[in-house]
Amino acid sequence: MTLAAFLALATVQLMAAISPGPAVLMTARTGVTQGLRMGIWMAAGIGAGAVFWAVCALFGLAVLFKVAPALLTVLKIAGGAYLVWIAYQMWRHAPEPLSTGATDARLPQSGPAALWKGITTQLANPKPVVFFGAVFAGMVPPDTALWIKGALLGVVFSTDFLWNVLVARLFSFDRSRAAYLSLKTLIDRSFGGILAALGLKVALT
């Protein structure tokens, strides 16, 4: 793989990382409800989940789905259902006062719990499955050296992690928090509605 091809793939990965989706929504909500620290843990989980799908793509995910396309369908339905369930919880509890991880069992109670929440959110999201299985894997030549693949995995983690840390930071500011508090019900239900729409979209397409 040439340097130009590597940089092109890194750019495409960055665009995929910053595109709106369940991961960004969860990071934004974590930042505004629990602050930057928990948002960083969440971002690390999202980055780890992205690396998992990238590893699968580099070692035959696309081939597996071609051989057994029903697996992709099952994954889409299961992932979409999980996202809709999260959306329902957000909608249902939108009118309630703002909680923190220490007072609300629905929110991650620790850094590792937020990390795991980020991982499961990313694993339940079929968007990275399609991206890594079709686009990412297709841009990596079969004879690519193992160390270059390792560098690509580093790019995958860092782009997803850093972007979501930025999102968490923006939503953790006092001004952002104050705006959220004044419109909590509307914002939570808007986030929930968008997340439900994304879940239904990935499950049905």
Domain ranges for the chain: 3-204
- Which tokens belong to 25? 């929504």
Query: What whole-number distance in Å separates Cα of residue 148 and Cα of residue 6?
Result: 9
Q: Which range has the top average pLDDT, 94-108, 115-129, 152-166?
A: 152-166
Neighbours of 140 (CB within 10 A): 19
Helices marked H in the chain? 3-18, 22-34, 36-58, 61-67, 69-92, 111-123, 126-130, 137-138, 146-172, 174-182, 184-204
How would residue 101 be classed by pLDDT, with cut points 50, 70 and 90? very low
Q: How much is the pLDDT for 147?
A: 87
In the DSSP assignment, the letter for residue 110 is S
- Which tokens belong to 148? 């270059």
